[in-house]
Structure 1
Amino acid sequence: MASSLSSKPFLGASRTDGLSGLCSISSDLRNLSSPSVQFLIRPRTLRKLQVQAAGNTYGNFFRVTTFGESHGGGVGCVIDGCPPRMPLSEADLQGDLDRRRPGQSRITTPRKETDTCRILSGVHEGVTTGTPILVLVPNTDQRGRDYDEMSIAYRPSHADRTYDLKYGVRSVQGGGRSSARETIGRVAAGAVAKKILKAFSGTEVLAYVSQVHKVVLPEESVNHYTLALDQVESNIVRCPDTEYAEKMIAAIDAVRVKGESIGGVVTCIVRNCPPGLGSPVFDKLEAEFAKAVLSLPATKGFEFGSGFAGTFLTGSEHNDEFYLDEQGKIRTKTNRSGGTQGGISNGEIINMRIAFKPTATISVSLTSTHLSLSLSIPPLSHNFDTGIPVYYFQLALLTS
Structure 2
Amino acid sequence: MSTAPSAPEANSRICLAVRAAQVPPSATAALDARAKALIAQGVDVINLTSGEPAFPTVEPATRAALDAVATGFIRYTPAAGIPELRSAAAEFINRHGTAYEAGQVVITAGAKQALHHAFTALVEPGDEILVPAPHWVSYPHLAALAGGTLVPVQPARDSGLKVGADQLRAAVTDRTRVLLLNNPANPSGVVYDRTELAALVQVAIDHDLAVISDEICDHWVFGDAEHVSVAALGPEAAERTLTVGGVSKTFAMTGWRIGWVAAPAQVAQAITAIQSHTASAPSSISQRAALGALTADLTTELEHRRRELDDRRLTTVKALAGIPGMEVDGTPDGAFFLLADVTGTYGRTLAGRTITSAADFAELLLAEANVAVVPGADFAAPNHVRVSYTVPPDRLREALTRLAAFADALAA
User: Which TM-score tier does this pair reach, normalised by the shorter chain?
Assistant: under 0.3
TM-score, structure 1 normalization? 0.21
TM-score of the aligned structures, taking structure 2 as reference length: 0.21
Structure holding more strand per residue? 1
Which one has the largest radius of gyration? Answer: 1
